[in-house]
Amino acid sequence: MRRTTTWSADHVPFDSVMGNGHRERTLSMLDSPYLVEEWGLPTAVVLLSGDGHYWIGLGYRACGRHGEPSVTWFDRDRSCPP
């Protein structure tokens, strides 16, 4: 299902994807729990890309940890539901 975001009616900024390992001073998907807490984002999400004001992630809230996640847009300049 395609929905309009606060960025645009038909696209989002997706020019890089966070890695999946640990490197000094580099964020990765493994840092999602920290970033979720730091930015007040909903839980059960793996963040793929973003800058703090917006995030693109895989949302597991509706499907659970073993289901197929939805690709979700989070905008911190607007409210994010917990």
Answer yes or no: is pLDDT of 58 > 80: yes
Assign 2 a pLDDT band (cuts: 50, 70, 90): low
The domains of the chain are located at 1-82
State CA 76 to chain mean position distance.
11
Assign 78 a pLDDT band (cuts: 50, 70, 90): low
User: Across all residues in the chain, what is the average pLDDT?
Assistant: 82
Answer yes or no: is pLDDT of 82 > 60: no
The set of residues, in sequence order, having a beta carbon less than 8 Å from that of 72 and lying 6+ positions away, is 45, 56, 57, 58, 59
pLDDT at 4: 65
φ and ψ at 22, to 5 degrees? -110, 125
Whole-prediction pTM: 0.75
Residue-wise pLDDT for 14-52, tens only, equals 778 888 888 788 889 999 999 999 988 888 999 999 888
Helix (H, G, I), strand (E, B) or coil at 73: strand
Q: Distance between CA atoms of 3 and 14, rounded to whole angstroms?
A: 16
**CB neighbours of residue 26 within 10 Å:** 10
CB 45 within 8 A of CB 60: yes
